[in-house]
Structure 1
Amino acid sequence: MELDFERCYRAVDSRDQRFDGWFYTGVTSTGIYCRPSCPATTPKRENVRFFPSAAAAQGAGLRACRRCRPDAAPGSPEWDVRADVVGRAMRLIADGVVDRDGVPGLASRLGYTERHLHRMLRAELGAGPLALARAQRAQTARVLIETTGLGMAEVAFAAGFGSVRQFNDTVREVFALAPSELRAQKRGPVSGGAGTITVRLAYRPPLHVGSLLEFLALRAVPGVEEVRDGTYHRGLSLPHGPGEVALTPAAGYVSAALRLADLRDLAPAVARCRRLLDLDADPVAVDATLAADPALAGPVAAEPGVRLPRTPDHPFEAAVRAVLTQQVSLRSARPLLVRLLAHCPPHPNPAAGHDRDGGWGLRGFPQARQVADVPDDGFRGPAGRREAVRALARAVADGELSLDGDWAQTRRQLLALPGIGPWTAGYVAMRGLGDPDVFLPTDLAVRRGARALGLPDDPKTLDAHAERWRPWRSYAVARLWRAAA
């Protein structure tokens, strides 16, 4: 990725928070790297280098600034919306694929050789997959050191390091402090248990909290998720075991209280929670495009920062929700999902305990193989819908359908399945894959919302009008759904 020096320097000089996570500022005279909004004095031009990733800055021998904590900045919105190999690689690395399966596993998931993948990541991010995963491990280690009472050997293991020595060396290199020194200056209370961690998830303002929680509450499936007292509670199916999270929006961050059966799942859980709440979005860019249309200017001005939540565990969840919601209301679809889940026994969750009144006891969405094996009694409604869910589940479980590949290819594969049409494929792309530029002109709620805002509600005319909202048509759908409500 090429970074324009003048543009980056202006962002640093103005301490513009919108650019946090887009790039990192290296200061050669001090040997540190910062986020663009660092409150320290603006460095001289001759002492500045800009990097597309924290891993690239670390590879240049720089350590993380102790003041602005660049490792805790929001993720780059570029990797959140790109469907190419690099964008997919970044999302898989954030989900811990390199730690679990190594670089060969990552390359296999993406369909490229290790050498070619390394070359692409180096060209875009200034670092290869191992360095990018190492930077993530360092951040995970810092969170565990500062927010838990775990011993350092346990922290090293949970963060994904191969040895305590590797852990010690990496922490010293990245933060210029020994692990014990990081713990001595911890910034928050120690968590109450070995499997309980509370972290702050940064985002780019603005964030319209009301619309976010209302969106999630309207679609909440009992037993999996719920919204209570301004907090969204959700069960998670993570790589090493189950978990749960309570997400509470606050000024400048979202508090995430995580209970994990296995602490190695901390980094994947954080990445999935960020995607769930769409925290890496660039709301200023989205709102500027939508507000250019007079019909949306009023809603955008009244409610800036509306996000589009995604499904956290796997896009398969969005696909099942979409099929069961076809031609029925959200209220009518909820009992269908509850009945289906009742026939998919959850995995034992040692992290949850029995504190149901405290908001725990939720489960993650079932895996594709579980859904494929649900008997007829687990479905309500037309036989065609039941068979569509089964065909979808079998295709995912058997590896015939990949829901973490290229978005366009995935949509083509979805449309080839029985009972799945353009609306369903579009919904999966939007809420499961995170495609920011999907439009659903035949959706009844979209058409009602368009009518409420004085827009045409004929699908063909509305679809043509939506061209002006590119590349953020998915966010326009969220706005229209909200107008319909």
Structure 2
Amino acid sequence: MYTDTERCVRAVQSKDARFDGWFFTAVLTTGIYCRPSCPAVPPKPENMRFHPSAAACQAAGFRACKRCRPDAAPGSPEWNERADAVARAMRLIADGVVDREGVPGLAARLGYSARQVERQLRAELGAGPLALARAQRAQTARLLVETTALPMAEIAFAAGFASIRAFNDTVREVYALSPSALRARVPKTSGAAATAGVLVLRLPFRAPLTPDNLFGHLAATAVPGVEEWRDGAYRRTLRLPYGHGIVALAPAPAHIDCRLTLTDLRDLPVAITRCRRLLDLDADPVAVDDRLRTDELLAPLVDKAPGRRVPRTVDEAEFAVRAVLGQQVSTAAARTHAARLVTAHGEPVDDPHGGLTHLFPAPGALAALDPERLAMPRSRRTTLTTLVGRLADGTLRLGADSDWAEARVRLAALPGFGPWTVELIAMRALGDPDAFLPTDLGTRRAATLTGLPGTPAALTARAAAWRPWRSYAVQYLWATDDHPINVLPPPAGATSPRRATPPNDPAPRTPPPDPAKQVTP
């Protein structure tokens, strides 16, 4: 979008927050760069230059605006809408791969040479992988400076800098302030919670956002010991590159309240990225809803609760395992199966602020499980053990670098994986915004209630007009049900909403490998 000068100028002059993260405005007369919604008086159009990334602005010699803090804008939705090499590279950079493995490691994950990756990123983003990773380190440094009382030396290494000097130079270059001056601007009470080991952050998003089905789904399907709903927040454990963490996420009108406890502060940028991905915070709800409103039968659902997001995951392998556990059973049964695996194979963690006890077991730990001890049909045992075996030995990789089409092919080749399971993993684990579940019982029931075609083939044909946002259409359809997954959990002591029928019918005695009657894990 940044190449469309006229459109960018209009967005800046109207201070349109919908375009925050899509592009950045560099102002020639001041030497700063801003987000489109910056509250300052818009500069003259001839003094504006537009860049696709904060890193490109920094590389051109501009510093971040102190008022609008462009580094804190929501991420570009492009990187979660595409599966090409550039989009996958951006997801991997956000997940800290360059800091941990360098540019050669990034290129190896993508299947390209380092030179090819550098060329593609520069062509589209105006900066190479090192510059993009450096911009992310600067943002992490600012967060730690402003939200903790840690010594600057600890912050420098936690943010990923190789030296104190590099830390100081980068902060001065990006923010035109020394780290100590940056901290001095923060009210003294801001770091109180952080001194107790908890980082208190605000995660921005593009409005509108309807949190009901997003948090309701996560809370209703929470695996005991790994996830919980407590004091108005969804809490869960996180397996991270350098250690583990616990996060509490709660909806607020203009942001998501985030409270993070980490065993290693180097995991902060990765933890934030995964939480944003879990809640689909980088989505462009206006673009999604505008497309879905073109269908006269979907339009009332969108108008009733605009800005629905797709509840995703912080661990793709974990979700794939949970998808198999949820085949042909109720939500309660799926949670029970998962809780047993967690108790037997999960890594214990300490949670002084709640009731979380374990990390969800990694594929390597599950590869050693005894299938005879699994209380499920033999065919599903085979499905589960095959899946964890492929994940453990690396022949199946599910992650930020996954090519969606290739992952679908590899999943479909596994025993017991039919279209429902494959598309559910594509939607919620891989993040494909166009995944579709026409055979899902809830989708078909909602389609019938709203007047849409009830058969999978006819519904798929009708849904062609919803592309590339069919995953969001599924959320709107699912939300027509009055099941608790579609509402925020009630406060402690309040009566939970009830419905007459279960959200997913129990399995027949001899289920096929991947029928429509499934539970969403």
Q: TM-score, normalised by structure 2?
A: 0.89
1:446·1:484 contact (CA, 8 Å) conserved in 2? no
Correspondent of 1:210 among 201, 209, 212:
212
Q: What does residue range 105-254 of structure 1 map to in structure 2 within 5 Å? A: 105-186=105-186, 189-190=190-191, 191-193=193-195, 195-254=197-256
- Could you tell me which amino acid in structure 2 is paired with residue 136 of structure 1? Q
Structure 1 stretch 154-163 or stretch 205-214: which is displaced more? 205-214
Distance 2:457 2:5 in 1: 44
Structure 1 stretch 317-326 or stretch 98-107: which is displaced more? 317-326
- Could you tell me which amino acid in structure 2 is paired with residue 225 of structure 1? E
Cα distance change of structure 1 residues 342 and 93 upon mapping to structure 2, 3 Å threshold: same
2:479 partner SS = helix
Q: Aligned residue pairs: how many?
A: 478
1:339·1:378 contact (CA, 8 Å) conserved in 2? no
1:26·1:62 contact (CA, 8 Å) conserved in 2? yes
After TM superposition, give the deviation of residue 345 of structure 1 in Å. Answer: 3.0
For the pair 1:397 / 2:392, whether they are aligned, the reply is yes
Correspondent of 2:264 among 257, 262, 265:
262
Which has the larger helix fraction?
1
Q: Which residue of 2 aligns with 1:323?
A: 324
Q: Which residue of 2 aligns with 1:470?
A: 467
For the pair 1:8 / 2:3, whether they are aligned, the reply is no
After TM superposition, give the deviation of residue 112 of structure 1 in Å. Answer: 0.7
Q: What does residue range 62-73 of structure 1 map to in structure 2 within 5 Å? A: 62-73=62-73
Distance 1:85 1:217 in 2: 34
Structure 1 stretch 32-41 or stretch 332-341: which is displaced more? 332-341
Correspondent of 1:445 among 439, 442, 465:
442
Q: What does residue range 71-82 of structure 1 map to in structure 2 within 5 Å? A: 71-82=71-82
Q: What does residue range 277-296 of structure 1 map to in structure 2 within 5 Å? A: 277-296=279-298
Q: Which residue of 1 aligns with 2:420?
A: 423
1:245 partner SS = strand
CA deviations on 1:146-179 (whole Å, 9 max, x unpaired) are 0000000000010000000000000000000000
CA deviations on 1:190-218 (whole Å, 9 max, x unpaired) are 03437421111000001112222212122
2:343·2:358 contact (CA, 8 Å) conserved in 1? no
1:285 partner SS = helix
CA deviations on 1:266-322 (whole Å, 9 max, x unpaired) are 00000000000000001111111112212111111111111101111x211221121
Q: Which residue of 2 aligns with 1:413?
A: 410
Correspondent of 1:368 among 348, 363, 366:
363
After TM superposition, give the deviation of residue 362 of structure 1 in Å. Answer: 4.4
Q: Which residue of 1 aligns with 2:485?
A: none
Correspondent of 2:379 among 381, 384, 392:
384
Cα distance change of structure 1 residues 163 and 237 upon mapping to structure 2, 3 Å threshold: same
1:483 partner SS = coil
Cα distance change of structure 1 residues 419 and 290 upon mapping to structure 2, 3 Å threshold: same
Q: List structure 1 segments (4+ residues) > 6 angstroms apart after TM superposition.
A: none
Alignment gaps of 5+ in structure 1:
none
Q: Which residue of 1 aligns with 2:93?
A: 93
- Could you tell me which amino acid in structure 1 is paired with residue 208 of structure 2? P
Distance 2:221 2:270 in 1: 23
1:252 partner SS = coil
After TM superposition, give the deviation of residue 130 of structure 1 in Å. Answer: 0.3
CA deviations on 1:58-90 (whole Å, 9 max, x unpaired) are 000000000000000000000111111111111
Distance 2:296 2:309 in 1: 20
Q: TM-score, normalised by structure 1?
A: 0.96
CA deviations on 1:80-110 (whole Å, 9 max, x unpaired) are 1111111111111111111111111111111
2:225·2:355 contact (CA, 8 Å) conserved in 1? no
Distance 1:363 1:263 in 2: 20
- Could you tell me which amino acid in structure 1 is paired with residue 77 of structure 2? P
Identity %: 60
1:213·1:227 contact (CA, 8 Å) conserved in 2? no
1:244·1:360 contact (CA, 8 Å) conserved in 2? no
Structure 1 stretch 319-328 or stretch 430-439: which is displaced more? 319-328
Distance 1:371 1:365 in 2: 10
- Could you tell me which amino acid in structure 1 is paired with residue 149 of structure 2? G
2:209·2:308 contact (CA, 8 Å) conserved in 1? yes
Distance 1:110 1:320 in 2: 24
1:244·1:363 contact (CA, 8 Å) conserved in 2? no
Cα distance change of structure 1 residues 305 and 440 upon mapping to structure 2, 3 Å threshold: same
Distance 1:17 1:335 in 2: 43
CA deviations on 1:249-273 (whole Å, 9 max, x unpaired) are 1121111100000000000000000
1:287·1:304 contact (CA, 8 Å) conserved in 2? yes
- Could you tell me which amino acid in structure 1 is paired with residue 392 of structure 2? A
- Could you tell me which amino acid in structure 2 is paired with residue 327 of structure 1? Q
2:289·2:302 contact (CA, 8 Å) conserved in 1? yes
2:286 partner SS = helix
After TM superposition, give the deviation of residue 458 of structure 1 in Å. Answer: 1.0
2:345 partner SS = coil
Alignment gaps of 5+ in structure 2:
483-521
2:446·2:478 contact (CA, 8 Å) conserved in 1? yes
Structure 1 stretch 50-59 or stretch 302-311: which is displaced more? 302-311
1:157 partner SS = helix
1:145·1:179 contact (CA, 8 Å) conserved in 2? yes
- Could you tell me which amino acid in structure 2 is paired with residue 454 of structure 1? G
For the pair 1:483 / 2:480, whether they are aligned, the reply is yes
After TM superposition, give the deviation of residue 28 of structure 1 in Å. Answer: 1.1
For the pair 1:337 / 2:338, whether they are aligned, the reply is yes
After TM superposition, give the deviation of residue 484 of structure 1 in Å. Answer: 3.2
Q: Which has the higher contact order (CA 8 A, sep 6+)?
A: 2
2:97·2:106 contact (CA, 8 Å) conserved in 1? yes
Q: Which residue of 2 aligns with 1:461?
A: 458
Structure 1 stretch 218-227 or stretch 19-28: which is displaced more? 218-227
